[in-house]
Amino acid sequence: MYKVLVFDIDNTLINRGKATVEESALQAIRECHDKGYEIVICTGRTINAVHPDILARVPGNYFIGVNGASLNKFDGELLHCFYMSEQSVEKIIEIALKHDYPLGFKFTDSFQIYNRYDEFTSRYCKGSITEDMLNNCPGRDYHLKKEMPLDAFIYADDDMLPQYFDQFDDLKFVRANSRKIIYEAFNKEADKGVMLGILLDRLGYTYDQAIAFGDSQNDCEMIIKAGLGICMGNGTREAKAVADYVTDDIDKDGIWKALKHFEII
């Protein structure tokens, strides 16, 4: 019997460019929450950069962020995370400065911009993401004063960055946007599926008792591992290929229809 429902945000709960959850999805999630299901939000975003509508209206229990590098309660309490190493952080800073890439690091409590703050914010702050969600760190020392980051976000507007990937044994690099040369780097032990397993262990459940909704490549691990993996109709080819079920598009009541189809609501 399913006990846990997991939802990606962008293009799963909220259509890219919009600021609010699809109403049919919100109605379905509230009904599931009232029935006792654990509601988990799972995203590449940090908790401080989540759409305000998610925190205000979705009755969530847990939050998996930064592509599976962090696990929080919905009130923000940190439960588990995968940090980057100091050596890798310093090396990424060195490379970014060499090529003058706009560079930011996602921490458990903030998103700190280490290089070309104005350029970074002008490109990153679109739609629901606002400049007040980012912090300028011209000293590039937040990782030394506070903690190691969970993720590096790099605007590499050339084809140079991949030549450095094999220098990082502890990190994985993924394209953050297929239309631009943007990369994220994070602990290779982390992904959404791994962190979902950690949460399920805490709750006393197994993967078989989870339903996961996603739409893109960074959702594939949790879609594969969940007892029921569902891809949105607007999802990528890679996500659809590994899903147990493909529902309708986000703006065609895809979440509501899938939960109805499997008699969850």
Measured between alpha carbons, how far is residue 95 from residues 42, 100, 150, 224 in Å?
A: 30, 8, 18, 34
Chain segment 94-119, per-residue pLDDT in tens = 999 999 999 999 999 899 999 999 99
pLDDT at 218: 86
Q: In the block, which residue shows the tokens 């397993």?
A: 197
The helix/strand/coil state of 180 is: coil
Residue 160: partners with Cβ closer than 8 Å, 6 or more residues away: 99
One-letter identity of residue 235 = G
Longest dimension (CA), the chain: 55
CA distance 17 to 15: 6
* Helix pair angle (23-34, 254-261), 10° resolution: 40
| Domains along the sequence of the chain with CATH | 4-81+190-261 (3.40.50.1000), 86-187 (3.30.1240.10)
- Give mean pLDDT, residues 16-28: 92
Chain segment 50-100, per-residue pLDDT in tens = 889 999 999 999 999 999 999 999 998 999 999 999 999 999 999 999 999
Chain segment 203-220, per-residue pLDDT in tens = 999 999 999 999 988 899
CA distance 250 to 265: 18
User: Smallest Cα–Cα separation from 166: which of 151, 193, 150, 188?
Assistant: 188
Q: What number of residues does the chain have?
A: 265
Chain-wide mean pLDDT for the chain?
Answer: 94
**Which H helix or E strand runs over 228?**
strand 228-231
CA distance 222 to 164: 28
Q: Is the pLDDT of residue 178 over 70?
A: no
CA distance 79 to 203: 12
User: Smallest Cα–Cα separation from 32: which of 213, 175, 179, 208?
Assistant: 213
Q: Dihedral of CA 52/148/174/214: which sign?
A: negative
pLDDT at 148: 98
- Give mean pLDDT, residues 245-259: 97
